[in-house]
């Protein structure tokens, strides 16, 4: 059943010719070792009760975020924080007076994501947070470009505070919250968002372990370069071991925070799945490192399903 849903999502997205540029970018990107099928699997793991259209919206979200990430970091590393307004207008609907100001493929994908929230009658109260995470995503990618371009030294904590947005997990998780929960008090939204941010710190490090060699080959740095100093004498004199130690500490912070959360019916399942899917993400990136690009899709997706289920 899980495999069939992945196939249906993938086939549906590939049929939409008006967003081919964005979807094919993910489908053809073998460098990261995961492509459109994995994005479909991830959407189902993170939000198993999603309708088919909601799952499509989540996959579009993942694909669009990856496309923006590559545009800023890979294609235009010269972009800096001063370019935020211009870059925002390229990708974000609400930064434009009308869609004609955006590239056609960008406008089509962004419009369809917004239309799904409207179709599901998602409360407007979620709109500020949904927009904030997209804006932070773009701004923090530009911040990383700035650090690299100016060869600035940053602490691990500063890197993770920035990197928790560049991993794009907050975008996906806030979308899930908006789809799944209505009439959530602002104070609870803020607490849930705090847990999402902590989970994103963990996933950022897991991703960095996978992308370390690629980052170095392109003159960039990540958490592996910063972990030793943050360990205050507990360094293992090995970047990978140091980063894993930091990741385990960050994961423990997440689990402790969630265990102390006052859980209500609507949030209990979300918090359980947030922790489980964070563990799944760690295993997923480990699997990519073990099996290499484009392989073991079945093992990876079933592992994701089992871990997050």
The fraction of the chain above a pLDDT of 90, given in percent, is 62
Which CATH number belongs to the domain containing residue 206 in this structure?
Answer: 1.10.600.10
> Tens digits of per-residue pLDDT, 20-68?
999 988 877 655 555 788 888 888 888 888 899 999 999 999 999 999 9
Angle, vertex CA 202, rays to CA 288 and CA 226, nearest 5: 90
List, for residues 129-138, the tens digit of each pLDDT value: 999 999 999 9
Nearest to 116 by CA among 168, 54, 167: 54
- Write out the residue range of the structural domain in which residue 195 sits: 2-308
For residue 289, what pLDDT is reported?
Answer: 64
Q: Are 281 and 206 in contact (CB under 8 A)?
A: yes
By the 8 A CB rule, do 266 and 183 touch?
Answer: no
Burial class (CB in 10 A: 0-12, 13-18, 19+), 261: middle
> Comparing 215-229, 231-245, 280-294, which segment has the lowest mean pLDDT?
280-294
- Cα–Cα nearest to 105, from 23, 166, 207: 23
Per the structure, the count of domains in the chain is 1
């Amino acid at each position: 059943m899980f495999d069939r849903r992945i196939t249906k999502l993938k086939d549906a997205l590939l049929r939409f010719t008006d967003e081919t540029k964005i979807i094919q970018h993910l489908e053809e990107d073998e460098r990261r070792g995961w492509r459109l099928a994995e994005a479909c699997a991830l959407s189902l793991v993170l939000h198993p009760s999603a309708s088919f259209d909601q799952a499509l919206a989540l996959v579009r979200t993942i694909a669009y975020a990856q496309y923006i990430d590559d545009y800023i970091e890979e294609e235009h590393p010269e972009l800096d924080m001063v370019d935020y307004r211009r870059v925002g207008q390229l990708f974000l609907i609400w930064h434009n007076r009308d869609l004609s100001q955006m590239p056609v493929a960008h406008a089509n994908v962004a419009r369809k994501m917004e239309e799904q929230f409207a179709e599901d009658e998602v409360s407007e109260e979620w709109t500020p947070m949904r927009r904030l995470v997209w804006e932070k995503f773009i701004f923090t990618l530009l911040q990383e470009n700035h650090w690299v371009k100016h060869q600035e030294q940053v602490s691990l904590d500063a890197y993770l505070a920035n990197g928790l947005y560049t991993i794009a997990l907050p975008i996906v998780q806030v979308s899930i919250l908006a789809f799944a929960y209505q009439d959530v008090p602002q104070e609870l939204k803020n607490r849930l968002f705090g847990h999402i941010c902590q989970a994103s710190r963990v996933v950022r490090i897991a991703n960095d372990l996978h992308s370390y060699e690629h980052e170095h080959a392109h003159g960039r740095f990540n958490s592996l370069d910063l972990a030793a100093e943050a360990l205050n004498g507990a360094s293992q004199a090995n970047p990978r071991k140091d980063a894993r130690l930091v990741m385990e500490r960050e994961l423990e912070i997440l689990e402790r925070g969630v265990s102390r959360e006052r859980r209500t019916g609507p949030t209990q399942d979300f918090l359980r799945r947030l922790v489980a899917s964070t563990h799944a993400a760690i295993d997923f990136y480990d699997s990519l490192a073990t099996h290499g690009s484009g392989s073991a899709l079945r093992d990876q997706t079933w592992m994701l399903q089992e871990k997050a289920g």
